[in-house]
Amino acid sequence: MVPLLVATIIQSSTVLLSIVWGVLIYGDPVSGYIITGAIVFLTGIVLVNLPGKRTIKDH
């Protein structure tokens, strides 16, 4: 059985694959903005899916 965090990372790997295929097939340049955006996106996906206590506070 695959842990949820690993499954989420694998599922969101399309971001990295699209960058790789863009470079290999089309010769697209990869800038620091693209790499930073991919890292921020993947970090956000991982942080959202980390197990932890989630509560909703009533005001």
pLDDT tens digits for range 8-48: 778 878 888 888 999 999 999 999 999 999 889 888 887 88
Cα–Cα dist 49/12, whole Å: 12
Q: How confident is the model at residue 54 (pLDDT cuts 50, 70, 90)?
A: low
The answer, yes or no, to whether residue 58 has pLDDT greater than 60, is no
| 46 in Cβ contact with 3 (< 8 Å) | no
Backbone angles phi, psi at 29, to 5 degrees: -75, 145
In a domain, 21, yes or no: yes
In a domain, 51, yes or no: no
In a domain, 49, yes or no: no
Query: What residue numbers bound the domain in which 34 lies?
Result: 4-43
In a domain, 14, yes or no: yes
In a domain, 52, yes or no: no
pLDDT of residue 48: 80
In a domain, 50, yes or no: no
In a domain, 16, yes or no: yes
In a domain, 9, yes or no: yes
Q: State pTM to two decimals.
A: 0.65
